């Protein structure tokens, strides 16, 4: 964008200088400068920027260096790390921000101020891109870190037993190695924006008090990057263009293909990114809870964080989480009921773990009621309903102004009641073409096509795990990528459950897809899964790996992804004539080269 002299306060010479200089600035430099100017500081600009004066000296204190390392599976920790970097640079710090997988572990000895931002994955595990650094730091080769100042921001989900476990491990280990805690660790639940912001304010304050000082800048210099118009905290209401059932008649499954319009949003994405949807709770479940509580559905409720006033019914339907329980919720509920059974349950960690599995808020009200509180006090113990993330199933190049999703409807029976997945059933039963739904893009740098279009790729995605690979294929077709591609797909029945069958067949015919192996587990007397097909082709699969192929896995982490991982180890061990330890080192090396990537849940 060129600055025009007309209607601007700059003369021609100034405008030309600015037009030459502005394009050379990074985004963080622009933010810093705008903050500085907004503060109208009387200090000479050169002195604040650290530019030598005419005598050749540098006025002001040298910039304090801060290193931010993040471990992120879906992109939340990465996003927070980038925002923290921008804010700190705006305050005059010199910041290095890096994924843990891109950071040389031995360099930790050179770091003076370290911020760790990390999520916890699965059952208390580090994210994939934090594994190597986590292992190094907790191993015997980890150095003493007496000169290190650090602070940890931990992301998690309190409905899991090992809430924020990875962040807690990093925090304890850094202290154990001699590091000094700059600011206390913050453990964030799914609604992490406010606590993360509070943590960063505390960190900046602590850094300012640390020896050495920092450049004093005007308050305006703390300006952060402006959020893109639509984001996680300001979702875009996307119109539903189409909503189809991909499964054939007689299938045991219902898989929805959802097409949404992005027209007018300015949102963009790449293959491998995800889409967040803010769903609504099942109105039948909301009615049952209100009926049990015997409260007026139209009573006004104030959403404290937003100051918004809703009816109790609408608040439970659109704002609060009512299907997933957490231990903190049960502990708060115990204070609102005279039922001693709940307190007895909380005294037994195994019973708590068992109760959290498959129960919801209606069960709590029925099992441990009556509730002795006002509706306002009761909803205050509930979590904000989090968005649900889905792997994007389309390419923006192939479908401009659109985004497609592949969503499996979740229905099951537990504890004597039929249960429904919040977002999947919202999509399957209550979302029609013409409706709108709040969405945002979740960028995922950990699941990306190779930069070189000639690189071979191997994709493993049974069921709805097929979604990102549809996106991959559409993108490669549009860009004319020449690299070989191999898809492993599986589901229950060939006739009813071969998702996007005609598209895969066309890509095979046109040469966009090199080969495809399928496994339909219920079509044979013995169940056959994708990992069995991989073993059948172990020799050729290993040859592809030796040629530099990238491997991608999408789907269920606990079962499918675990089994596929073990199968890869078995193939590498067998075909490469390696020991198990050497095969594991081979896969670790692939991960470090970003040749082995997983989008698992």
DSSP assignment of 429-482: HH--TT-EEEEEEE--TTS---SSTTS-EEEE--GGGGHHHHHHHHHHHHHT--
Name the residue with tokens 């009200």.
Answer: 365
pLDDT in tens, 419-476: 999 999 999 999 999 999 999 999 999 999 999 999 999 999 999 999 999 999 999 9
Structure tokens belonging to residue 71: 């471990």
Contact assessment for residue 414 and residue 325, using Cβ atoms and an 8 Å cutoff: no
Name the residue with tokens 């071969």.
Answer: 498
324 vs 355: CA distance, rounded Å: 11
Higher pLDDT, residue 504 or 37: 504
Q: What is the mean pLDDT of residues 205-232?
A: 56
Query: In this predicted structure, what is the pLDDT of residue 33?
Result: 53
The DSSP line for 488-528 is EEEES-HHHH-TTHHHHHHHHHHTSS-EEEEEETTSSSS--
- Three-class secondary structure of residue 401 per DSSP: coil
When mean pLDDT is compared across 62-76, 181-195, 485-499, the lowest value belongs to 62-76
Q: What is the radius of gyration, based on Cα positions, of the chain?
A: 27
CA dihedral (472, 473, 474, 478) in degrees, to 10, reads 100
Q: What is the mean pLDDT of the chain?
A: 89
Is residue 241 pLDDT above 70, yes or no? yes
How many other CB atoms are found less than 10 A from the CB of residue 511?
11
Query: In this predicted structure, what is the pLDDT of residue 61?
Result: 38
183 vs 192: CA distance, rounded Å: 17
Query: In this predicted structure, what is the pLDDT of residue 220?
Result: 35
Query: In this predicted structure, what is the pLDDT of residue 458?
Result: 98
Query: In this predicted structure, what is the pLDDT of residue 307?
Result: 79
Is residue 197 pLDDT above 80, yes or no? yes
Q: What is the mean pLDDT of residues 14-40?
A: 53
Backbone angles phi, psi at 70, to 5 degrees: -125, 145
CA dihedral (288, 290, 296, 302) in degrees, to 10, reads -130
Above pLDDT 70, what percent of the chain? 86
pLDDT in tens, 398-411: 999 999 999 999 99
Query: In this predicted structure, what is the pLDDT of residue 601?
Result: 84
When mean pLDDT is compared across 188-202, 211-225, 234-248, the lowest value belongs to 211-225
- Which residues touch 15 (CB under 8 Å, ≥6 apart)? 3, 4, 5, 8
User: Confidence band (pLDDT; 50, 70, 90) for 54?
Assistant: very low
Is residue 337 pLDDT above 70, yes or no? yes
Backbone angles phi, psi at 134, to 5 degrees: -60, -45
Q: What is the mean pLDDT of residues 63-72?
A: 91
Query: In this predicted structure, what is the pLDDT of residue 229?
Result: 85
359 vs 417: CA distance, rounded Å: 10
DSSP 559: I
When mean pLDDT is compared across 42-56, 171-185, 227-241, the lowest value belongs to 42-56
464 vs 256: CA distance, rounded Å: 9
Is residue 62 pLDDT above 50, yes or no? no
229 vs 543: CA distance, rounded Å: 46
pLDDT in tens, 123-141: 889 999 999 999 999 999 9
Full set of structural domains in the chain with CATH: 65-222 (3.40.50.360), 236-279+387-442 (2.40.30.10), 283-379 (1.20.990.10), 457-600 (3.40.50.80)
First-last CA distance in the chain: 42
Q: Does the model's pTM come out above 0.85? A: no
Q: What is the mean pLDDT of residues 348-366?
A: 95
- Three-class secondary structure of residue 397 per DSSP: coil
């Amino acid at each position: 964008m060129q600055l025009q002299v007309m209607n601007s306060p700059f003369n021609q010479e100034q405008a030309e200088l600015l037009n030459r200089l502005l394009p050379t600035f990074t985004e963080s430099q622009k933010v810093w400068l705008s903050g500085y100017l907004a503060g109208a500081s009387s200090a000479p600009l050169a002195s604040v920027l650290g530019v030598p004066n005419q005598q050749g000296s540098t006025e002001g204190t040298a910039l304090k260096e801060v290193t931010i390392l993040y471990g992120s599976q879906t992109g939340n920790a990465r996003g927070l790390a980038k925002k923290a970097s921008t804010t700190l640079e705006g305050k005059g710090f010199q910041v290095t921000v890096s994924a843990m997988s891109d950071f040389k572990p031995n360099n930790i000895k050179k770091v003076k101020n370290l911020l760790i931002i990390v999520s916890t994955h699965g059952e208390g595990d580090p994210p994939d891109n934090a594994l190597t650094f986590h292992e190094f730091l907790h191993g015997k080769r980890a150095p003493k870190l007496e000169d290190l100042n650090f602070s940890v921001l931990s992301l998690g989900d309190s409905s899991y037993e090992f809430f924020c476990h990875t962040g807690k491990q990093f925090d304890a280990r850094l202290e154990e190695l001699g590091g000094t805690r700059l600011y206390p660790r913050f453990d964030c639940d799914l609604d992490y924006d406010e606590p993360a912001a509070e943590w960063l304010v505390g960190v900046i304050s602590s850094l300012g008090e640390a020896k050495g000082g920092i450049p004093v800048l005007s308050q305006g210099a703390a300006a952060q990057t402006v959020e893109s118009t639509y984001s996680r905290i300001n979702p875009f209401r996307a119109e539903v263009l189409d909503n189809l059932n991909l499964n054939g008649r007689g299938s045991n499954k219902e898989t929805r293909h959802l097409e949404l319009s992005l027209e007018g949003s300015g949102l963009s994405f790449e293959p491998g990114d995800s889409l967040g949807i803010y769903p609504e709770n099942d109105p039948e479940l909301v009615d049952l809870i209100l009926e049990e509580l015997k409260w007026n559905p139209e009573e006004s409720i104030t959403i404290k964080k937003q100051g918004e006033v809703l009816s109790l019914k609408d608040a439970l339907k659109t704002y609060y989480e009512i299907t997933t329980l957490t231990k903190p919720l049960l502990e708060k509920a115990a204070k609102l009921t005279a039922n001693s059974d709940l307190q007895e349950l909380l005294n037994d960690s195994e019973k708590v773990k068992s109760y959290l599995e498959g129960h919801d808020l209606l069960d709590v009200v029925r099992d441990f009621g009556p509730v002795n509180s006002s509706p306002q006090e009761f909803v205050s113990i509930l979590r904000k309903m989090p968005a649900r993330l889905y792997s994007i199933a389309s390419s923006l190049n192939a479908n401009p102004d659109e985004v497609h999703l592949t969503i499996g409807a979740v229905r099951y029976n537990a504890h004597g009641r039929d249960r429904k997945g919040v977002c999947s059933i919202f999509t399957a039963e209550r979302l029609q073409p013409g409706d709108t739904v709040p969405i945002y893009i979740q960028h995922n740098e950990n699941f990306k096509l190779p930069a070189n279009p000639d690189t071979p790729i191997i994709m493993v995605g049974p069921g709805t795990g097929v979604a990102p690979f549809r996106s991959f294929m559409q993108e490669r077709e549009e860009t004319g990528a020449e690299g070989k591609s191999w898809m492993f797909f599986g589901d229950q029945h060939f006739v009813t459950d071969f998702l996007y069958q005609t598209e895969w067949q066309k890509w095979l015919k046109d040469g966009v897809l090199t080969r495809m192996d399928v496994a339909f587990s219920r079509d044979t007397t013995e169940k056959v899964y994708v990992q069995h097909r991989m073993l059948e082709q172990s020799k050729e699969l290993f040859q592809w790996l030796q040629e530099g192929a990238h491997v991608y896995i999408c789907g269920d982490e606990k079962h499918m992804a675990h089994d596929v991982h073990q199968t890869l180890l078995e193939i590498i061990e067998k075909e490469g004539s390696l020991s198990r330890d050497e095969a594991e080192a081979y896969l670790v090396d692939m991960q470090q080269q970003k040749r082995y990537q997983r989008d698992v849940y």
